[in-house]
Chains A and B, each alone.
Chain A
Amino acid sequence: MVAFVGHCISMDRVAKLAAQKAVVVFSVSSCCMCHAVQRLFCELGVSPAVHQLDEDPRGREMERALEKLVGRRAPAPVVFVGGELVGSTDRIMALHLGGKLKPLLRQAGALWL
């Protein structure tokens, strides 16, 4: 019961953080794939808000909440655009190759070009 409540609280926290900026990435500081995704956004001219789960006191619970969201262990990087969950690396890559990432970013106000 306590774990469940804790989980809900973490989920809320995730949602709250995700809504704070147009593009939000939940990352782990030592994770190189997270670095790759951040580089991609940089390349596109977007500066996302990056939350390092391993540097957050509630990071562990947030990670578990994110695991539930993306359906995978070690979920990072998890990307939110416009407060909405987009997904992890493969989702971002697929969207970009499909030409759908930029419109999504523009829609959220993260890109003006």
Chain B
Amino acid sequence: MPSFASSAGVQNNSTEGNTTNPSRESCFGLLKHSIAVHNDLEATTKQSGQPLASVGVTASASKVESLRSHQQKGQQPHLLFLSSQFENWGDSTMADASPRTDTSTDLDIDEKNQMLEQGQLAVAGASDSSDRSKDKRLDQKTLRRLAQNREAARKSRLRKKAYVQQLESSRLKLTQLEQELQRARQQGIFISGSADQSHAVGGNGALAFDVEYARWLEEHNRQVNELRAAVNAHASENDLRSIVDGVLSHYEEIFRLKGIAAKADVFHILSGMWKTPAERCFLWLGGFRSSELLKLLANQLEPLTEQQLMGICNLQHSSQQAEDALSQGMEALQQSLAETLAGSLGPSGSSGNVANYMGQMAMAMGKLGTLENFLRQADNLRQQTLQQMHRILTTRQSARALLAIHDYLSRLRALSSLWLARPRE
């Protein structure tokens, strides 16, 4: 950052305000004076006409420089300079300094706010007027605090503005994506009509599944809203049961769809790219972890009978064990795959190694084929968990459980949206 050497020419103050005598002014008067000096980015000649010493300024938030000036009366005002908005100096509206060096000892509030808004604070302290030094120090503190508050408020307003802009553009994007999705959906229907099913799924398995999942989720949300309304309206046992059954069979539908999609593109399902980022964070073998959902439910479902509590606990424990077993199976698969691929490494060139390579690749391909099986078992677990939960609980409790699960997963999805729309510095 440039430092400001004293210059012979002084912009604004040389011809004016020589009547101000810092020793007699209040702190505010000195403040005006010193801000004028620094806004002009040049040294100012004081009343005595002597040039002020150079000031080195940086843009760091709380760099303090002192500016020494020589007063006729022997005063040594120290101008402490705090600048966090050095860049704004160029935009300073205070280039015209004429009002600033009047003889008034009260700082005009507008000017003060203006100065503070631009993030500059110059606090003058006279070293010799000890009788008023305490007042001056208080004023300095207050001034500093006020300035910081305004600065914080300003920054906050800017952040809010940026955030709102982000939200607006995300909303626009969302509408565009929805339209695209609609179009793709229509095209998807057309494709599966014209070609045979397996071809359509194989050709664009990932995309087709994403579309189907979006549709499934929409229907799921609708059903959950219906369930929530029924619970809140204290619907009859039969009505509630039919809605709950509907929700559960709709869950079975997504597992079925996942199975079909996995045949076409198992990696897409396992990657969780069809889910939102926050959900993906918690992904286990291509979906949610049943034991975690059950943990969440234990608190939501009171009151439970002894037997029900035991049942839920056992279910959670069993699903945890099953999950662990499958996880270990997956680890073994990874290990085995790594060994297979590493086994084909070796000195290149000999034909034996080429045959070896092909053999190893074929073996690796076989191993990859079992991924689909693992995914299927994981989805099986999830399905079984939901069914067992329904068996243990009463209809009303099942309803509340399904609502709790939905709300939790919705929050994860909402969190993803917020995260994606967050304002970035």
| Chain A residues with a Cβ under 8 A of chain B | 30-33, 35-37, 39-40, 43-44, 89-90, 93-94, 96-99
Complex contact A39–B318 (CB within 8 A): no
Residue interface mask B312-346, A partner, CB < 8 A = 1: 00110011011011101110110010000000000
Complex contact B325–A97 (CB within 8 A): no
Given the known interface contacts A40-B322, A99-B318, the answer about A33 and B384 at a Cβ–Cβ threshold of 8 Å is no
Q: Which residues of chain A are near B288, meaning CB under 8 Å?
A: none
Given the known interface contacts A32-B330, A35-B329, A35-B332, the answer about A97 and B381 at a Cβ–Cβ threshold of 8 Å is yes
Given the known interface contacts A93-B384, A94-B384, the answer about A99 and B324 at a Cβ–Cβ threshold of 8 Å is no
- Among B321, B332, B384, point to the contact of A43 (Cβ < 8 A): B321
Complex contact A90–B324 (CB within 8 A): no
Most-contacted residue by chain A among B328, B336, B388 (CB, 10 A)? B328
Given the known interface contacts A32-B332, A36-B326, the answer about A97 and B318 at a Cβ–Cβ threshold of 8 Å is yes
Complex contact A40–B325 (CB within 8 A): yes
**Within the complex, what minimum Cβ distance (angstroms) separates B400 from chain A?**
21
Residue interface mask B287-320, A partner, CB < 8 A = 1: 0000000000000000000000001001100110
By beta carbon, the residue of chain A nearest B322 is A93
**Within the complex, what minimum Cβ distance (angstroms) separates B291 from chain A?**
11
By beta carbon, the residue of chain A nearest B320 is A43
Most-contacted residue by chain B among A39, A40, A97, A99 (CB, 10 A)? A97
**Within the complex, what minimum Cβ distance (angstroms) separates B94 from chain A?**
74
Cα separation A35 to B367 with both chains bound (whole Å):
13
Segment among B16-24, B270-278, B369-377 that sits at the interface with chain A: B369-377
By beta carbon, the residue of chain A nearest B392 is A99
Q: Which residues of chain A are near B318, meaning CB under 8 Å?
A: 96-97, 99
Cα separation A30 to B343 with both chains bound (whole Å):
15
**Does B380 belong to the interface (CB within 8 Å)?**
yes
A-B CB proximity, top 4 nearest: A36-B329, A40-B325, A32-B333, A97-B384
**Does B385 belong to the interface (CB within 8 Å)?**
yes
By beta carbon, the residue of chain A nearest B340 is A30
Cα separation A31 to B332 with both chains bound (whole Å):
9
Complex contact A97–B388 (CB within 8 A): yes
B residues 140-157 in Cβ contact with A at 8 Å: none
Complex contact A97–B377 (CB within 8 A): no
Complex contact B325–A37 (CB within 8 A): yes
Complex contact A36–B328 (CB within 8 A): yes
Cα separation A40 to B216 with both chains bound (whole Å):
33
Residue interface mask B384-398, A partner, CB < 8 A = 1: 110010000000000
**Within the complex, what minimum Cβ distance (angstroms) separates A82 from chain B?**
20
Q: Is the interface of B mostly helix, strand, loop or mixed?
A: helix
Cα separation A30 to B366 with both chains bound (whole Å):
10
Complex contact A98–B374 (CB within 8 A): no
In addition to A97-B384, A99-B318, 16 A-B residue pairs with Cβ atoms within 8 Å of each other are A30-B336, A33-B377, A35-B328, A36-B325, A36-B330, A36-B374, A39-B328, A39-B329, A43-B325, A93-B322, A93-B381, A93-B384, A94-B384, A96-B322, A97-B388, A99-B315
Given the known interface contacts A32-B336, A43-B321, the answer about A94 and B326 at a Cβ–Cβ threshold of 8 Å is no
Given the known interface contacts A94-B384, A97-B318, A98-B384, the answer about A43 and B324 at a Cβ–Cβ threshold of 8 Å is yes
Q: Which residues of chain A are near B325, meaning CB under 8 Å?
A: 36-37, 39-40, 43
Given the known interface contacts A97-B381, A97-B384, the answer about A40 and B321 at a Cβ–Cβ threshold of 8 Å is yes
Complex contact A93–B380 (CB within 8 A): yes
Given the known interface contacts A36-B326, A36-B328, A39-B328, the answer about A96 and B336 at a Cβ–Cβ threshold of 8 Å is no
Complex contact B336–A97 (CB within 8 A): no
Q: Which residues of chain A are near B370, meaning CB under 8 Å?
A: 31-33
Cα separation A44 to B318 with both chains bound (whole Å):
10
Cα separation A33 to B374 with both chains bound (whole Å):
7
Complex contact A94–B380 (CB within 8 A): yes
Cα separation A43 to B130 with both chains bound (whole Å):
81
By beta carbon, the residue of chain B nearest A35 is B332
Q: Which residues of chain A are near B385, meaning CB under 8 Å?
A: 97
Q: Which residues of chain B are near A97, meaning CB under 8 Å?
A: 315, 318-319, 322, 381, 384-385, 388
Q: Which residues of chain A are near B311, meaning CB under 8 Å?
A: 99
Most-contacted residue by chain A among B319, B376, B377 (CB, 10 A)? B377
Q: Which residues of chain A are near B380, meaning CB under 8 Å?
A: 90, 93-94
**Within the complex, what minimum Cβ distance (angstroms) separates B323 from chain A?**
10
Complex contact B322–A90 (CB within 8 A): no
Cα separation A40 to B332 with both chains bound (whole Å):
14
- Among A33, A43, A90, A99, point to the contact of B329 (Cβ < 8 A): A33
